[in-house]
Amino acid sequence: MDSPRTADPISALREGDAEQTDAALQVLSTVFGYDSFRGEQAEIIEQVAGGGDAVVLMPTGGGKSLCYQIPALLRSGTGVVVSPLIALMSDQVAALEAVGIRAAYLNSTLERHEAQAVEQQLLAGEIDLLYMAPERLVLPRTIDLLQRARLSLVAIDEAHCVSQWGHDFRPDYMGLSVLADAFPGVPRIALTATATEATHRELTERLRMEDAKHFVSSFDRPNIQYRIEPKASPREQLLKLITAEHEGESGIVYCLSRKSVETTAAWLSERGIPALPYHAGLDARVRQDHQERFLRAEGLIIVATIAFGMGIDKPDVRFVAHLDLPKSIEGYYQETGRAGRDGQPSTAWMAYGLGDMVSQRKFIDSGEGDETFKRNARSHLDAMLALCETVSCRRVQLLRYFGQDSEACGNCDICLSPPQTWDATVPAQKLLSALIRLDRERGQKFGSGQIIEVLLGRENDRSRQSRHEELSVWGIGAELSEKEWRSVMRQLMARGIVDAEGDYGVLVPGSHAGPVLRSEVTVELAVDRSPAKATRSRSSRSGGGGGSRAAEGLEIAERERFEALRTWRTEVAKEKQIPPYMVFSDATLVAIVQSRPESTGALAGISGVGAKKLAEYGDAVLEALGV
């Protein structure tokens, strides 16, 4: 868009100075600093700004927030944003205030007088966007308050939380169906980045949005490289990933248990990698401090349980690593989606092994919930295992799970280094025979360790006590090593040929074992992949050393100017006590360096430089560049 950016477009637009489409573009340009919409953003904004409801499925980093922020600014009144992210509301509000939007939140962190002040501002029409959690919104007192105010729209963020069969069900979301009756003339927009076709249908029904217009974007994140490798020494594998590819960059490491979070963060710190733990067992103040330090610092790693990350807007997370198997593809996709929100190359890496599969199945079988719930959980896990053990493009499999077709991506470990396969029908039959013979002839079931001992014919106390050497299956698997047998077991479990059951995770024939035993099918397995070699190395990048992935490809002189801008940005962020990306993103700094502006007027045309930031930082940017 070529028109100059004015300092305060919002009031002018609300006075009717532009048509709706032009007005949306002007807000995008003058407030947010971008000159064109992406994907279906323009159509979504037109639908909601015109008073219609919308259900939006869009990947993390796809620009969902603009789809309700801009209509809220175009329509008269206050936009209410329903979000489960109380811990992040202050940062979300600060980011909006940084571009000149009047924003506030109502949640349990506010003192009574602070909450009353926000309510008075709401009733006076002095707030553009108001954030609140679902449990607060559905209170009769809150409904009454909002009915006395003038609302422009209601946005329901993380809308998949309303689905009981999704991966992240939140009971508080169930009450949001009241919005349809409480605010009949107010447009609603439900947004999520993780929804299968079934979850999509359910959230539409539960939120009573059957008449809404639906927008389903591609879930593909082409800038993320997906890599999954067998778990050997997971922390050493993680350390190699960080030092070889992401030294000095921000990342998130996910672990299943609080203890693992604590020990992994300490282990990384001892090796000179700045890392902090985050889990629900930490004191609330410590947890909040670690989150804020992660958002504000550059090059810090957070080690966390899945309690961390939803709604994190930090754009320069360069990698997300999993040291334990996620419970579902939805959870995996949501967690990996926190990498590379700025569109720059990023890594989604995971190490997993046979023990992960067994422990997850045990957790499901011994957990609460009826058989329907457990069957759903097993289905989620089976899909996750299939992704881990696929011998074709991971991105194709990932997108297929969400009902979308795609071509091989060329940017996952399978595409970059296709695995070799081998005919494992006979080893699979030998394993199944061992499970059956041990059960029938000795009345015994074992975990993977003892089964391998029997297959290899290795004596131990259990074998001697039960006279396993007398069984016909004793030593029949000596052609494979212990490591190879673990790989076979892992892949057969992923295919349902072998299963684990009970508190001890003993192995039993799975639902698909019959055809294998009868030689009706051929079992093709992948040759076990050694931990992958780094596909990118720090030393091979332009300029070497640390720095930002966004600066790759810059000439030496440009890189120096980029680093000068980063230093200036860090100083401003510290002074204002806000994350650096709220000043300018790395991508915007690169655009500034490449455009070589010589005046504040030249800065106005750069993506990410809105009117308020131009007025606030323009002269300082030119000074940092030496202009």
Residue 532 has pLDDT above 80, yes or no: no
Angle formed at CA 305 by CA 302 and CA 311, multiple of 5 degrees: 70
What is residue 545's predicted lDDT score, i.e. its pLDDT? 39
Alpha-carbon span 234 to 270, nearest angstrom: 16
Question: Is the pLDDT confidence value at 542 over 50?
Answer: no
Q: How confident is the model at residue 355 (pLDDT cuts 50, 70, 90)?
A: confident
Residue 60 has pLDDT above 90, yes or no: no
Tell me what pLDDT residue 426 has.
96
**pLDDT tens-digit profile of 304-335?**
987 676 557 788 899 999 999 998 898 899 89
Q: How many residues does the chain have?
A: 627
C-alpha neighbours within 13 Å on the C-beta side of residue 12: 15
As a whole number of angstroms, the distance between CA 615 and CA 627 comes to 17
Give the residue-averaged pLDDT of 331-348.
90
3-state SS assignment for residue 250: strand
Q: How confident is the model at residue 179 (pLDDT cuts 50, 70, 90)?
A: very high
Domains and CATH numbers, the chain: 9-216 (3.40.50.300), 224-416 (3.40.50.300), 421-526 (1.10.10.10), 554-624 (1.10.150.80)
Closest CA to 212 of 234, 191, 233: 191
Task: Name the residue among 47, 82, 45 with its Cα closest to residue 64.
Answer: 45
Residue 362 has pLDDT above 90, yes or no: no
Share of the chain above pLDDT 70, in %: 91
